[in-house]
Amino acid sequence: MGALDSDPTIAWLMRGDPAIRWQTMRDLLSQPSQTWEAERKRVAQTGWGVRLLNKQKPDGNWGRGPYHPKWTCTTYTMQVLRRLGLPPRHSAAVKACRLYLSQGIGEDGGINFWKARRPNSETCVTGIILSQLAYFKPRDVDLSGLVDYLLNEQMPDGGWNCERHNGAVHSSFHTTINVLEGLREYILADGSRVSQAIQAEARGQEFLLDHRLYRSSTTGNVVHPAMTRFHFPPRWRHDVLRALDHFQMAFTTPDQRMADAIDLVISRRRKDGRWLLPSRYKGAVFFEMEVAAKPSRWNTLRALRVLNWWESKHAAAPRRPR
């Protein structure tokens, strides 16, 4: 991209929240780890990160528990904190992680916050919780049971579907991206099932690639228009930019089956070099990080790092420090 430090779009990103700045420093400016790590620590001290931390209750939960109410509960608040880059082993996050482990493990090894109503764990939520546990790294925690559950739930087409126990025979984009993110965090954390997780991840990625990330593998039609809109935070939903961001995080070799999705991302770039935030998903939030229909630092950051990865064509990138 050339002269990134003088690029007006980069300068605009660097005027944002610490969560935006440290990822810009790492992913777009390639600054030394000690520089961006110092900025990442500020996520817990100011801006969006500390605003969410201040909403945590004494018992370690947000909202009224692990999954209620839906978008201001512990699960989705912790997912935002992970995306912000709250440093691993932060005490507030570790406290919440231990609640998952004490309250959420089902008899089948997955996450089941609804044991009184359903016998089976929820695959999508298990992927979400695994991503948090592997990222925040509470000490002396064995995540192999969650990984084994997800390995057992993988479907013949390579993906995952929360409705498998209700007869679903085709994987879900939504469930698959949540599981892939969980497995990727687990792989980066060097868990005891890494080799199996890598194999499962590759099969799940192949499922998405077979569908060009958002199209039917039989008709070629867009599966759902929402998959072409780049919401942030994405919650449990799949979209093109979220999928591409996973592939770059996994250092996957760029594949021509992603080209259609890449073109879509490029087409959304404005003349000022920025990407907009679409209208947000419905549901209560603690506060709005960005304004809908306005330029989005989140989407601009994510789109630029995806395009950098795509353009580099590096088959074997160095492992990113966490």
Question: What's the whole-number mean pLDDT along residues 148-163?
Answer: 98
Burial tier of 91 (Cβ tally within 10 Å: 0-12, 13-18, 19+): exposed
B/e letters for 258-274, b = 16+ CB within 10 Å, e = fewer, are: beebbebbeebbeeeeb
How would residue 5 be classed by pLDDT, with cut points 50, 70 and 90? low
Summarize the chain as % helix, strand, coil (round to 5): 50, 5, 45
Backbone dihedral angles phi then psi of residue 105, each to the nearest 5 degrees: -75, 125
Mean pLDDT, to the nearest integer, of 217-221?
94
In angstroms, the first-to-last Cα distance of the chain is: 24
Under 8 Å between Cβ of 102 and 141:
no
**In the chain, where the domains are located:** 1-46, 48-181, 211-313
What CA–CA distances, in Å, run from 175 to 22, 123, 192, 271?
Answer: 29, 7, 23, 34
pLDDT band at 4 (very low <50, low <70, confident <90, very high): low
For residues 76 and 286, is the Cβ–Cβ distance under 8 A? no
Sign of CA dihedral 123, 124, 125, 127: positive
Do 301 and 308 touch, CB atoms closer than 8 A? Answer: no
Please check whether residue 24 is in contact with residue 85, taking contact to mean a CB–CB distance below 8 angstroms: no
**Strand segments (E) across the chain:** 275-276, 295-296
Helices (H) and strands (E) in the chain, counts: 13, 2
pLDDT at 1 over 50: no
Which pLDDT band holds residue 322 (cuts at 50, 70, 90)? low
Amino acid at the residue 249: M
Structure tokens at 196: 């199996």
Crossing angle between the packed helical segments 144-153 and 173-188, to the nearest 10 degrees: 150
Share of the chain above pLDDT 90, in %: 92
pLDDT category at 319 given cuts 50, 70, 90 is very low
Fold of 48-181: Glycosyltransferase (1.50.10)
Q: Which residue has the higher pLDDT, 6 or 187?
A: 187
